[in-house]
């Protein structure tokens, strides 16, 4: 299953906290997704790379779950890579490093072992 997380709309004046997003998303899944479903891989759904990783981490910290909870991010993996690359061949190594780091952080979030303090400053 490949859903979005339960987050407030972009124009909502009161954005949900990381724990609120995790709890609301898991509550919805527990109510509607059978345990026979082997896994749930989330879209980043316009979230920043850091927010998407943090939300995934929080959900996995609240486990165990009847299904695997992981990620299938597009933009949240690609945005830091594109920012590092900037269309310049000379930035290819930096882009590859950015991609490897974003993947590493999401791997940790997949295990509930990520912290925002692990993020590299921009």
What pLDDT is recorded for position 61?
Answer: 98
16-69 pLDDT tens trace: 999 999 999 999 999 999 999 999 999 999 899 999 999 999 999 999 999 999
Q: Rg for the chain (alpha carbons), in Å?
A: 15
In the predicted structure, residue 10 carries a pLDDT above the cut 70: yes
- The pTM of the whole model exceeds 0.75: yes
Calculate the average pLDDT of the chain. Answer: 97
């Amino acid at each position: 299953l490949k859903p979005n997380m339960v987050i407030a709309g972009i124009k909502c004046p009161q954005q949900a906290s990381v724990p609120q997003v995790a709890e609301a998303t898991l509550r919805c899944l527990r109510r509607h997704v059978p345990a026979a479903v082997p896994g749930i891989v989330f879209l980043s759904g316009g979230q920043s790379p850091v927010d998407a990783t943090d939300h995934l981490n929080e959900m996995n910290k609240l486990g165990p779950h009847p299904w695997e909870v992981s990620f299938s991010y597009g933009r949240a993996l690609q945005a830091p890579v594109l920012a590092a690359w900037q269309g310049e061949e000379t930035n290819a190594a930096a882009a590859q490093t950015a991609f490897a780091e974003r993947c590493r952080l999401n791997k940790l979030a997949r295990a509930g072992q990520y912290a925002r303090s692990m993020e590299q400053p921009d």
